[in-house]
Amino acid sequence: MRQRYAAEIAAPKVTVEHEPITGERLSIGQGFRALSFKHARFSGLMDPLVMVDHYFMSEPTFGAHAHAGMSAVTVLFEDSVGLFNNRDSMGNDIDLEPGDLYWLKAGSGALHDEKPTPGSRTHGLQMFVNLPARLKHDAPEALHVKAVDMPQIVSSDAKVRLVLGRSNGLVGSSSPALPLTILDAMINAGGEFEHEVALGHSQWIHVVKGSVEKLDGERLITIHSGEAFSVGGKPEPVTLVLRASSESQVVVVTGEPIKEAFVQRGPLVMTTEDEIEQVEAAYRSGRLGGLSD
């Protein structure tokens, strides 16, 4: 909780355009490395996402820590090896398997610890998803979705895991907070994948490997491995079309923008600095609970 970052975000302007953003390299100790994407680099178009880390973890790194005012979302890729243990102050102690999702809606505050079990190597995304002011003081809750329970969209061009939400007539699990869709797509060379974006929802697209082309209005955008591209919510229906120039893995996140100012201090995302101080005081005094042994 020593990391401090504060920013205010206004309503994204759909006229704002930018080029694909390369993730910032982040290494902690010998067991954690990541490409990090933070909202400030996306001109507000990443809303409701606050940050996303595309990471590899092979040993415990962060220890128990507090979250509040946001959701901490873990998406494991299928090439993860072994188990990824998640514990929280609601009493959950779950070994995630490759491909699983774990959504911790922290709300008013919760403790969290996550780490690979001995001999495991975790590959996935850690997303901080903002909560609107009206939900920041909700009681915390969690959602675990097993990979085997995720619908798949399969064609000759692609295999797409519906990690959360809706796509192509299929319905997966629902977010405990605002509507959000997460797609983990493997697209063959020369193949295409389409997704109907819900009205007004933003798009965040990250290429894990390979390269894809996306038609954005009149522009053809090429997104390479290690890059992300974001589009603000639009008032008309949008069909997202991705074409892979080589065998590619792409993550698509579409969600309802919150369009509210917020303050972030590490894993705490509240509306004001005073609220941040209140959460930190609750953490220090033990009022956020503890983790099971």
Domain boundaries of the chain, sorted by first residue:
21-284
Cβ–Cβ contacts within 10 Å for residue 4, how many? Answer: 11
Q: Residue 25 in contact with residue 35, Cβ under 8 Å? A: yes
Choice between 278 and 219, residue whose per-residue pLDDT is larger:
278
Model pTM greater than 0.75?
yes
Check residue 217 and give its pLDDT. Answer: 62
Distance between CA atoms of 143 and 123, rounded to whole angstroms?
20
Check residue 135 and give its pLDDT. Answer: 96
Average pLDDT for residues 1-23, to the nearest whole number? Answer: 54
Band of pLDDT at residue 128, cut at 50, 70 and 90: very high
What's the chain's average pLDDT? 91
Residue 11 pLDDT > 50: no
Measured between its terminal Cα atoms, the distance across the chain in Å is 22
Distance between CA atoms of 39 and 42, rounded to whole angstroms?
5
Give CA angle at 146 (142, 152), nearest 5°. 125
Domain 21-284 grouped into CATH 2.60.40.3950 = no
Alpha-carbon distances of 293 from 54, 64, 89, 117, rounded to whole Å: 28, 12, 11, 15
Alpha-carbon distances of 99 from 88, 96, 147, 181, rounded to whole Å: 20, 8, 5, 16
